[in-house]
């Protein structure tokens, strides 16, 4: 079959051109993203119990919902927050790849089962169940630089006018507006006036409900009617009110004398905000910040361009003084990373071409391996499209590593054709036929080995499988296509383009190189004879290297994925418990000024009144997202994210008083965790209460910060938020004619806001809420002066039957997997890995938590890291077993694969030493590199063992077969090895966006390939000598006649 292509070169070229064409079309149509869809999906359940404190909310709303939701199919963990404003948020996290449409339906069904157990107010306000996307594509900010519009206007303008058109942009999944203050009809009541008139809150509620509702009024003249009128009239009237002024005209009471009491008589109405608990700024100016999330599989770059185009069109109709800008675009990191990878790819190709040319010293000969590179790589995109993959960091990284692989087979072909010329063959086609007869088997074997080592990894579950899948299959596809090229195009071109060389090359550098290489080859052959005679010493050395490999691998710190400079980071600010929103705004404003002074910072998004870690509204928390300048303007270490954080943190500590600040890099995989570093949950598994949980959390954090392994550890859980406890004398209240139920309604209406019904405006539905004027509830003393209407028609001040005492309590009750919990976030100290930090916290858990009766669990990134770590040994074992079985089938021998696989530890040793030299952990990219090295080490060994086997069958002695095979294959082995090693060098020394991943995998395969190449050349021939002698000694070498067996492995 191969000879067919040698004699039909146009046919072979047509196949190659077709592969290029299909691959090019696929490049234009494949989606582009940072990562494939590898983040666990979440479903969020939100509800509220207005006016309830955190503990009441957790007990009355959150726990009943959690108990029903827990165990829903596909769930991996469940977390919740219950806050002092009565808000409950439950987040259900599902396994990677689980269908979120099914998940949301399942959760919704379980929520409906629990609704009967919830308060009426909660059911009335509604419970929402929404799929949550974590893949933010970009953030668009709407601002008024001249200060002409506030947050409320900007946020609602964005919701009313921008969200719907942007949601229709192809690839957009959802849009969230940070700190959105929805419009609401706010009715601000004056308690003194209500008390003076003897009007109860229930009267106000009933009046609003009755006078603000749509009605179906019917018709005049609608059949059947007696006289069949000629005209039929549709009736209409003012039902649902249309303006704040109309709400002010609502009649609350009609008196006997004909007078009426309206809302305007007991308060005021306005179109305000549903809540006033947060505020957002961009560079200290009011802003509406929209986060745009893309759909799975969408092209991130196209989504971003679509959003920008749509915004530019809508901006023509913006109010005077309103501007927009893209403040954060993950595509900048993706684009920069992809550009860096493409540059790396080109650098790798140039280095590979240089190596091939130096060894082959002929442009005709060099051209054949060069052609193999674009054909194999570009055609790979067609296979990626067929498997539903995307162009992302993993697939491009796989292609960079594949450059040195796809050229290998073509090098083997042309090198062997050249050897046929040197042996006296004059006809190029005949030389190609002879060469392919010798190398077709090794090419197929090595390609199958390289492909097979990645196949088991592709079927691993969870995020590990997703990461391995796209990376490893990309390499496998490219190697498979390379093998096809090497069996079709390369021999066809060799038979058409190559010709015997006449005499020795005249260029003196080539002559020096050839003579030097010939001397190296002869010296190498002599050394192999020496090693063969001292085979037992060689095997002892190998045994020592094997145990050294095991020891160093066990001692190497581990990690999951390296943190990257993604062009942004965030800082959390915590003020003393109970600090007001205005106080928080003042502190975070000052901090924003400090951050903006750093020359590497481009802009700052500031959100006040939000705890970023828990995603809840808390007045004493705020955070700032620092958007950095392009990577090309930040080239020094202090201009990278870690350096910027250190510099700005020092400035904040000097200039900001009254607040604690902590900064974190972005999570390395967007959506997988809130921050970079670790996230750990301390659980109250024995129901010891919030105070005991707080105390143990403080002890745990203190212990962690004492360790040199932990760089930072932080918990936002506090127990000393100021509270007022209302001790109601219920008997005294009844004596005074105060109904306790009416009292509770009055307290809720005055102090926490009551949702009455709805108001339609601008095509949106908004709430109607009542609450006391701010002047009646600004100080604790105001509480005793509030009055409630008694059954006798008079009013009674709260102070007559209520004592007020000061206390403290939690502002939020977080829960994790049904236990009250606290979250610890942090990261390792410089010089330590994430894996070492995990082990250190496990020790602290055993010494602090377990003796006290508390438990702990990992979440977010570390949860996935631990699962990935458990799969890694299985992946390597399956890879080795797959190679072993394929080689056993190819050679019909159980022993020959052993000769080949003994070279694998040598590659692993080089990789671990290289990681140690650079003080890098063995993360998942390093693990992928080790998996790749299994195939590469086996490939080099196959080239020697296969030729030694053929020579032994021809009647050579065992040692002669091994030494001669090593001498014959040293040139292609070194050529392909140097091509691969130099091809990955750009990864080793990469910089800019996405450099962390490239450093990790590049260092692993670089060190491993160097060790594998040189140690395998020295040891694999000896492996063959020893194992072949054992086979023959015990009559296991079926390919030989019994009379051919030798008595001693080193007799020759």
Q: How high is the pLDDT of residue 266?
A: 93
Q: What is the pLDDT of residues 242-300, one digit of tens each?
A: 899 999 999 999 988 889 999 999 999 999 988 888 888 888 888 898 988 877 667 77
For the segment 765-771, the average pLDDT, to the nearest whole number, is: 91
Position 646 pLDDT exceeds 60: yes
Indicate whether 677 pLDDT > 90.
no
From residue 797, alpha-carbon distances to 192, 252, 388, 783 in Å are: 10, 22, 70, 9
Predicted confidence (pLDDT) per residue in 90-127, tens digit: 999 888 878 888 999 999 999 999 998 998 888 887 88
Q: What is the 3-state secondary structure (H, E, C) of 355-380?
A: HHHHHHCCHHHHHHHHHHHHHHHHHH
d(CA 737, CA 731): 10
For residue 296, the model assigns a pLDDT of 66
Position with higher pLDDT, 300 vs 6: 6
| For residue 188, pLDDT beyond 90 | yes
Distances, alpha carbon 951 to alpha carbons 261, 567, 810, in Å: 111, 59, 80
- When pLDDT is cut at 50, 70 and 90, the band that residue 457 belongs to is confident
The closest alpha carbon to 490, from 1003, 997, 13, belongs to 13
Do 40-133 and 567-665 come out as alike in CATH topology? Answer: yes
Q: How far is CA 1025 from CA 160, 957, 960, in A?
A: 79, 10, 9
Q: How far apart are CA 778 and CA 786, in angstroms?
A: 12
Estimate the crossing angle of helix 995-1033 against helix 508-533, to 10 degrees: 50
Please report the DSSP string for 570-602 in residue order. Answer: EEEEEPSTT--HHHHHHHHHHHHHHHHTSTTEE
Alpha helices, DSSP H, located in 656-780: 690-706, 730-735, 740-751
Q: Which CATH superfamily is domain 567-665 in?
A: Multidrug efflux transporter AcrB pore domain (3.30.70.1430)
Cα distance between residue 882 and residue 889, in whole Å? 11
DSSP state of 629: P
Instruction: State how beta strands 812-816 and 75-83 pair.
Output: antiparallel
CATH number of 1-29+361-499: 1.20.1640.10
Please give, one letter per residue, the 3-state secondary structure of 634-676. Answer: CCCHHHCHHHHHHHHHHHHHHHCCCCEEEEEECCCCCCCCCCC
Three-class DSSP category at 759: strand
Residue 596: exposed, middle, or buried by beta-carbon count in 10 A (0-12, 13-18, 19+)? Answer: middle
Per-residue pLDDT tens over the stretch 318-376 = 999 899 998 888 777 777 777 776 777 777 777 777 777 777 677 777 788 888 888 88
Band of pLDDT at residue 1043, cut at 50, 70 and 90: very low
In angstroms, the CA 612 to CA 823 distance is 12
pLDDT value at residue 1042: 46
Q: Is the dihedral of CA 187, 191, 197, 199 positive or negative?
A: positive
725 secondary structure, DSSP code: E
Interatomic CA distance for residues 811 and 717, integer angstroms:
8
Distant-in-sequence, close-in-space partners of 99: CB < 8 Å, separation ≥ 6: 74
Report the candidate in 926, 933, 906 with the shortest Cα–Cα distance to residue 1019: 906
Q: Tell me which long-range contacts 756-760 makes (C-beta under 8 A, separation of at least 24).
A: 756/205, 756/208, 756/209, 756/212, 757/208, 757/209, 757/212, 757/213, 758/240, 759/184, 759/185, 759/212, 759/240, 759/241, 760/240
Structural contact between residues 1002 and 987, judged by C-beta atoms closer than 8 angstroms: yes
**In the chain, what percentage of residues exceed pLDDT 70?**
96
pLDDT in the model for residue 1035: 67
CB-facing half-sphere around the CA of 622: CA atoms within 13 A: 30
Q: Would you call 2 exposed, middle or buried from its count of C-beta atoms within 10 A (0-12, 13-18, 19+)?
A: middle
Residue among 940, 941, 935, 929 at smallest CA distance from 898: 941
Q: What is the pLDDT of residue 1038?
A: 58
DSSP 8-state class, residue 1009: H
Q: How far apart are CA 1021 and CA 1029, in angstroms?
A: 12
Q: Do the Cβ atoms of 1026 and 539 come closer than 8 Å?
A: yes
Higher-confidence position of 1039 and 677:
677
* Whole-number Å distance between alpha carbons of 84 and 811: 5
- pLDDT for 657 equals 87
Instruction: Say how far apart CA 667 and CA 655 lie, in whole Å.
Output: 28
The answer to whether 635 and 992 are in contact (CB under 8 A) is: no
Confidence of residue 892 (pLDDT cuts 50, 70, 90): confident
What does the pLDDT read at residue 1013? 87
- In this prediction, residue 612 carries a pLDDT of 82
How far is 278 from 608, CA to CA, in rounded Å?
5
Q: 425 vs 506, which has greater pLDDT?
A: 425
Render 263-315 in DSSP notation, one character per residue: HHHHEEEEEEES--S-EEEETTEEEEEEEEEEPTT--HHHHHHHHHHHHHHHG
Is the bond into 224 cis (omega within 30 degrees of 0)? Answer: yes
SS3 content of the chain, % helix, strand, coil (to 5): 55, 20, 25
**If you ran DSSP here, which 8-state letter would residue 569 be given?**
E
Structure-model confidence comparison of residues 873 and 149, the more confident one: 149
872: preceding bond cis by omega (within 30 degrees): no
In the DSSP assignment, the letter for residue 756 is E
Q: Which residues of 832-859 are buried (b: 16+ CB within 10 A; e: fewer)?
A: bbbbbbbebbeebbeebbeeeebbbbbb
Helix (H, G, I), strand (E, B) or coil at 97: coil
The larger pLDDT score, comparing residue 702 to residue 507, is at 702
pLDDT single digits (tens) 613-633: 888 888 889 999 999 888 888
**What is the domain partition of the chain in residue ranges?**
1-29+361-499, 40-133, 185-217+238-273+722-809, 567-665
* H or E element, residue 811: none
185-217+238-273+722-809: CATH, from 3.30.2090.10, 3.40.50.150, 3.90.650.10, 3.40.30.10: 3.30.2090.10
Distances (CA, A) of 372 to 152, 346, 484, 593: 60, 14, 10, 56
Percent of the residues in the chain that have a pLDDT greater than 90, as a whole number:
22
Helices (H) and strands (E) in the chain, counts: 36, 30
Cα separation, 466 vs 395, in Å, equals: 12
Is the separation of the CB atoms in 88 and 47 below 8 Å? yes
Average pLDDT over residues 71-75: 91
Instruction: Using the predicted structure, report yes or no on whether residue 504 has a pLDDT greater than 60.
Output: no
Task: Report the pLDDT value the prediction gives residue 35, as an integer from 0 to 100.
Answer: 79
**40-133 under CATH 3.30.70.1430, yes or no:** yes
Q: Is 597 left (phi over 0), alpha (psi -120 to 50) or beta?
A: alpha
In the sheet that holds 183-189, the strands lie side by side as 267-273, 183-189, 764-772, 754-761
Q: Write b or e for each residue in 312-348: b if 16 or more Cβ atoms lie within 10 A of its Cβ, otherwise e.
A: eeeeeebeeebebebbbbbbbbbbbbbebbeebbebb
Name the maximum alpha-carbon separation found in the chain.
130
pLDDT tens for 149-181 read: 888 999 999 999 999 999 999 888 788 888 788
- Work out whether strand 601-611 and strand 279-282 pair parallel, antiparallel, or are unpaired: antiparallel
Q: In whole angstroms, what separates CA 194 from the centre of its chain?
A: 55
Number of Cβ within a 10 Å radius of residue 195: 22
CA separation for the pair 230, 253 (Å, rounded): 42
Highest mean pLDDT among 250-254, 504-508, 565-569, 759-763: 250-254
CA distance 145 to 260: 46
- Report the SS3 class of residue 451: helix
The torsion angles phi and psi of 810, rounded to 5 degrees, stand at: -80, 145
- Tell me the torsion sign for CA atoms 377, 381, 387, 388: positive
d(CA 943, CA 969): 7
How open is the CA angle 130-287-622, to the nearest 5 degrees?
70
Let me know: does 900 contact 945? Beta carbons within 8 Å: yes
């Amino acid at each position: 079959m191969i000879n067919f292509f040698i004699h039909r070169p146009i046919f072979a070229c047509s196949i190659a051109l077709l592969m290029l064409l299909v691959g090019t079309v696929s490049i234009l149509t494949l989606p582009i993203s940072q990562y494939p869809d590898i983040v666990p999906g979440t479903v969020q359940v939100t509800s509220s119990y207005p006016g309830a404190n955190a503990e009441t909310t957790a007990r009355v709303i959150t726990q009943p919902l959690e108990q029903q939701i827990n165990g829903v199919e596909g769930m991996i963990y469940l977390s919740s927050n219950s806050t002092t404003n009565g808000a409950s948020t439950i987040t259900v996290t599902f396994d990677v790849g689980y269908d979120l449409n099914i998940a949301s339906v399942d959760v919704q069904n379980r929520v409906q089962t629990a609704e009967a157990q919830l308060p009426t107010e909660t059911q009335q306000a509604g419970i929402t169940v929404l799929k949550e996307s974590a893949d933010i594509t970009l953030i668009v900010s709407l601002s008024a630089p001249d200060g002409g519009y506030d947050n409320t206007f900007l946020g609602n303008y964005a919701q009313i006018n921008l969200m719907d058109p942007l949601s229709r942009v192809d690839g957009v999944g959802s849009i969230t507006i940070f700190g959105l203050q929805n419009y609401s009809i706010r009715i601000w009541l004056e308690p003194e006036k209500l008390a003076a008139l003897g009007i109860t809150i229930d009267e106000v509620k009933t009046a609003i409900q009755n006078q603000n509702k749509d009605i179906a009024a019917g018709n005049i003249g609608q059949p059947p009617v007696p006289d069949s009128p000629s005209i039929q009239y549709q009736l209409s009237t003012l039902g649902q009110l249309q303006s704040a002024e109309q709400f002010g005209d609502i009649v609350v009471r009609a008196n006997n004398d004909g007078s009426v009491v309206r809302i305007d008589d007991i308060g005021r109405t306005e179109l305000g905000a549903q809540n006033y608990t947060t505020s957002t700024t961009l560079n200290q100016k009011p802003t509406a910040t929209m986060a745009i999330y893309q759909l799975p599989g969408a092209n991130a770059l196209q989504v971003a361009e679509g959003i920008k185009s749509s915004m530019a069109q809508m901006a023509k109709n913006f109010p005077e003084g309103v501007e927009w800008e893209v403040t954060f675009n993950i595509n900048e990191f993706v684009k920069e990373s992809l550009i860096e990878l493409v540059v790396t790819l080109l650098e790798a190709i140039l280095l590979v071409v240089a190596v091939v040319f130096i060894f082959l010293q002929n442009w005709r000969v060099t051209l054949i391996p060069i052609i193999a590179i674009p054909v194999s790589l570009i055609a790979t995109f067609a296979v990626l499209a067929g498997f539903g993959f995307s162009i992302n960091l993993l697939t491009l990284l796989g292609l960079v590593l594949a450059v040195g692989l796809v050229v290998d087979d073509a090098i083997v072909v042309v090198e062997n054709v050249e050897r046929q010329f040197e042996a006296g063959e004059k006809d190029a086609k005949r030389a190609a036929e002879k060469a392919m007869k010798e190398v077709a088997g090794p090419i197929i074997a090595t390609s199958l080995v390289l492909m097979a080592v990645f196949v088991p990894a592709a079927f691993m579950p969870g995020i590990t499988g997703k990461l391995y899948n796209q990376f490893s299959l990309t390499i496998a596809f490219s190697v498979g296509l390379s093998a096809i090229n090497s069996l079709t195009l390369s021999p066809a071109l060799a038979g058409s383009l190559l010709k015997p060389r006449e005499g020795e090359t005249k260029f003196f550098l080539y002559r020096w190189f050839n003579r030097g290489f010939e001397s190296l080859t002869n010296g190498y052959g002599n050394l192999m004879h020496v090693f063969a005679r001292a085979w037992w010493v060689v095997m002892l050395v190998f045994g020592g290297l094997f145990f050294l490999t095991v020891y160093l691998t066990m001692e190497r710190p581990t990690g999951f994925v390296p943190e990257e400079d993604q062009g942004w980071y965030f800082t959390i600010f915590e003020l003393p418990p109970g600090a007001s929103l205005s106080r928080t705004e003042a502190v975070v404003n000052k901090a924003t000024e400090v951050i903006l002074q750093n020359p590497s910072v481009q802009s700052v998004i500031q959100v006040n009144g939000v705890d970023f870690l828990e995603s809840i509204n808390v007045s004493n928390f705020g955070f700032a997202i620092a958007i950095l300048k392009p990577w090309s303007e930040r080239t020094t270490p202090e201009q990278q994210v870690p350096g910027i954080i250190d510099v700005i943190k020092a400035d904040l500590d000097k200039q900001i008083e009254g607040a604690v600040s902590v900064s974190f890099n972005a999570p390395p995989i967007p959506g997988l965790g809130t921050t970079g570093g670790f996230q750990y949950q301390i659980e109250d598994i024995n129901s010891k209460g919030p105070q005991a949980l707080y105390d143990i959390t403080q002890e745990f954090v203190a212990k962690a910060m004492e360790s040199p392994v932990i760089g930072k550890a932080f918990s936002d859980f506090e127990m000393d938020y100021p509270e007022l406890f209302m001790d109601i004398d219920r008997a005294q209240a009844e004596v005074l004619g105060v109904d306790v139920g009416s009292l509770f309604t009055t307290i809720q209406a005055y102090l926490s806001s009551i949702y009455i019904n709805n108001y339609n405006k601008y095509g949106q539905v908004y709430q109607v809420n009542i609450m006391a004027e701010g002047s009646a509830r600004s100080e604790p003393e105001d509480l005793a002066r509030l009055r409630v209407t008694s059954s006798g028609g008079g009013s009674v001040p709260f102070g007559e039957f209520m004592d007020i005492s000061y206390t403290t309590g939690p502002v939020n009750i977080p829960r994790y997997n049904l236990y009250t919990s606290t979250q610890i976030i942090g990261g390792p100290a410089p010089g330590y890995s994430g894996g070492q930090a995990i082990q250190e916290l496990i020790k602290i858990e055993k010494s602090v938590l377990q003796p006290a009766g508390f438990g702990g669990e990992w979440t977010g990134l570390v949860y996935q890291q631990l699962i990935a770590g458990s799969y890694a040994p299985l992946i390597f074992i399956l890879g080795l077993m797959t190679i072993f079985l394929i080689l056993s089938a190819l050679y019909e021998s159980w022993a020959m694969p052993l000769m080949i696989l003994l070279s694998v530890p040598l590659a692993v040793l080089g990789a671990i030493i290289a990681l140690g030299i650079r003080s890098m952990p063995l993360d998942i990219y390093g693990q992928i590199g080790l998996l790749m090295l299994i195939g590469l080490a086996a490939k080099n060994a196959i080239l020697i063992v296969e030729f030694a086997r053929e020579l032994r069958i021809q009647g050579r002695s065992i040692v002669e077969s091994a030494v001669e095979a090593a001498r014959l294959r040293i040139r292609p082995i070194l050529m392909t090895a140097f091509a691969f090693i130099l091809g990955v060098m750009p990864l080793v020394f990469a910089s800019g966006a996405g450099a962390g991943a490239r450093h990790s995998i590049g260092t692993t395969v670089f060190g491993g390939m160097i060790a594998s190449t040189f140690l395998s050349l020295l040891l694999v021939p000896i492996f063959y000598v020893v194992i072949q002698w054992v086979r023959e000694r015990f009559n296991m070498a079926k390919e030989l006649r019994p009379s051919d067996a030798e008595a001693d492995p080193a007799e020759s």
